[in-house]
């Protein structure tokens, strides 16, 4: 059975939570492979809405083993709160597993993140203030804490004690209060005792599942255009949401991936700072934002809204080796006429059809639009592409043509059942197994 990677093709907030939840019924394990509690997945099941920040979306299914991989940075306080919320709402969390190698977001990481953003003032990156960047920074400096360290007082005290003097000195220079070693050690030990039943060697957990023939789904947070290496740097996240991040952050090899499903919505949104060529600052944008409930799951910040941009779509399909796409929130465009689609940029008088590697150049990009006639019919009850209004089908076809890969799922509402599903999804063809 395959390993499937779910990856965002825009600036995050594409609806990956619904995609994972929709596909999870067919799989045995869902693995979150990067990011931290700066991400949020919203899953709607009937009248219930679940907002998840660390636990994979598949937790809502009893048969799923939900894995937080080694590439995730974990704030244990957030994780414990989330597990308690789920258990309180009748969800079994006994099968949630957390990599012993995942790095821990400590209170001083959060304090540093927020203080550094305040210091940047007008040049803010737009972080969520959750300590994600400082945690990944400590991982790269090799002075970070891993989840397994929370189980050993001597190791925990040594690791925190080694990092804390520099953290406190930096915090003092930013006008922030210092942290006490003993209190942090006690806090960490409490987290460790509470989370001990969930800690595991998740690399072998995932490898054993694939060896058994189980279908494993790997979900990322954020989106391709926020990738640390491939996004609009410096207005990016601190990890690799691209499909390749599933290998390093989930414990699999590239030849174990059979399908990469890209997720996008029928328009564009962005949270935080950075260039956004198709941004709408008018009543149309405010209307889309209101109908689409475009507010950050984690921060509650309003999302910036714009027309769909096909220039980074082609780039995202390429760098992720996308084999199929789920299109979300096409229902939000009902009633708009015309609908605009960015197909190229004008940069300093040049027509540009490739995503610029330079954020400085991107900031000068002016969108080149094509217009499509809209539709007025409500589509929440549609369950086949043939039953979509003709103009909606034309818009979906245009997006598919620009992507160069098939759109196999189309969401027409927030619930699982409000999904148009094609009967097939392309996957990489593996060599035939040798005859015994």
Q: In this structure, are residues 156 and 176 in contact, taking their beta carbons and an 8 Å threshold?
A: no
- Catalytic residue of the set 13, 37, 138, 227: 13
Biggest CA pair distance of the chain: 69
Dihedral of CA atoms 230, 104, 36, 301 in degrees, nearest 10, equals -110
Which residues, other chains included, contact 35 with Cβ-Cβ below 8 Å and sequence gap of 6+? 72, 73, 132, 220, 221, 222, 237, 239, 241
In angstroms, the CA 101 to CA 145 distance is 9
The single-letter DSSP state of residue 433 is P
> Omega before 338 cis (within 30°)?
yes
Q: 10, 22, 17: which is closest to 416 by C-alpha?
A: 22
Location of structure tokens 């189309």: 410
From residue 380, alpha-carbon distances to 93, 265, 348, 384 in Å are 32, 15, 42, 11
Dihedral of CA atoms 112, 79, 142, 170 in degrees, nearest 10, equals 10
Which residues, other chains included, contact 11 with Cβ-Cβ below 8 Å and sequence gap of 6+? 222, 223, 225, 226, 268, 269, 270, 271, 276
Active-site residue flag, 258: no
Please state the separation of Cα 117 from the chain's center in Å: 22
Q: In this structure, are residues 45 and 51 in contact, taking their beta carbons and an 8 Å threshold?
A: no
β-bridge pairing 65-68 and 29-32: parallel
* Sign of the alpha-carbon torsion through 435, 258, 28, 415: negative
Which residues, other chains included, contact 289 with Cβ-Cβ below 8 Å and sequence gap of 6+? 269, 302, 303, 305
Terminal Cα-to-Cα distance of the chain (whole angstroms): 19
User: How many residues in total does the chain contain?
Assistant: 436
In angstroms, the CA 297 to CA 35 distance is 14
Dihedral of CA atoms 124, 130, 134, 136 in degrees, nearest 10, equals -120
Active-site residue flag, 13: yes
In angstroms, the CA 314 to CA 245 distance is 19
- Catalytic residue of the set 21, 41, 109, 258: 41
> What residues are labeled active site?
13, 41
């Amino acid at each position: 059975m395959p390993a499937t990677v779910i990856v965002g093709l825009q600036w995050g907030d594409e609806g990956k939570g619904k995609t994972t939840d929709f596909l999870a019924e067919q799989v045995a394990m869902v693995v979150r492979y990067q990011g931290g509690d700066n991400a949020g997945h919203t899953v709607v099941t009937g009248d219930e809405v679940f907002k998840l920040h660390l636990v994979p979306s598949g937790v809502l299914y009893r048969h799923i083993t939900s894995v937080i991989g080694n590439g995730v940075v974990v704030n244990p306080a957030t994780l414990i709160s989330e597990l308690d919320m789920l258990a309180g709402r009748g969800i079994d969390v006994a099968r949630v597993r957390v990599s012993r190698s995942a790095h821990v977001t400590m209170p001083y990481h959060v304090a540093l993140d927020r203080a550094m953003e305040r210091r940047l003032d007008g040049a803010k990156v737009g972080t969520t203030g959750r300590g994600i960047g400082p945690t990944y920074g400590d991982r790269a400096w090799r002075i970070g804490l891993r989840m397994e360290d929370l189980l050993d007082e001597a190791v925990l005290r040594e690791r925190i004690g080694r990092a804390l003097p520099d953290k406190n000195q930096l915090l003092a220079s930013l006008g922030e209060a210092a942290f006490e070693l003993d209190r942090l050690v006690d806090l960490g030990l409490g987290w460790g005792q509470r989370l001990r039943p969930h800690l595991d060697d998740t690399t072998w957990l995932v490898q054993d599942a694939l060896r058994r023939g189980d279908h494993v789904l790997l979900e990322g947070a954020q989106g391709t255009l926020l990738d640390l290496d491939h996004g609009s740097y410096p207005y990016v996240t601190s990890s690799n949401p691209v499909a390749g991040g599933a290998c390093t952050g989930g414990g699999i090899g590239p030849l174990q991936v059979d399908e990469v499903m890209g997720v996008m919505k029928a328009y564009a949104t962005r949270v935080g700072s950075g260039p956004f060529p198709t941004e709408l600052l008018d009543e149309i944008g405010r209307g889309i934002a209101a109908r689409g409930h475009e507010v950050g799951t984690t921060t509650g910040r309003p999302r910036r809204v714009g027309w769909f941009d096909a220039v980074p779509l082609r780039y995202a399909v390429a760098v992720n080796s996308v084999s199929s796409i789920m299109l979300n929130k096409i229902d939000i465009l009902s009633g708009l006429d015309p609908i605009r689609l960015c197909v190229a940029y004008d940069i300093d008088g040049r027509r540009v059809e490739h995503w610029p590697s330079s954020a400085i150049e991107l900031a000068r990009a002016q969108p080149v639009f094509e217009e499509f006639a809209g539709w007025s019919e409500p589509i929440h009850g549609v369950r086949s592409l043939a039953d979509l209004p003709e103009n909606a089908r034309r818009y979906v076809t245009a997006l598919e043509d620009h992507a160069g890969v098939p759109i196999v799922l189309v969401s027409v509402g927030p619930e699982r059942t409000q999904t148009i599903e094609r009967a097939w999804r392309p996957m990489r063809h593996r060599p035939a197994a040798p005859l015994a």
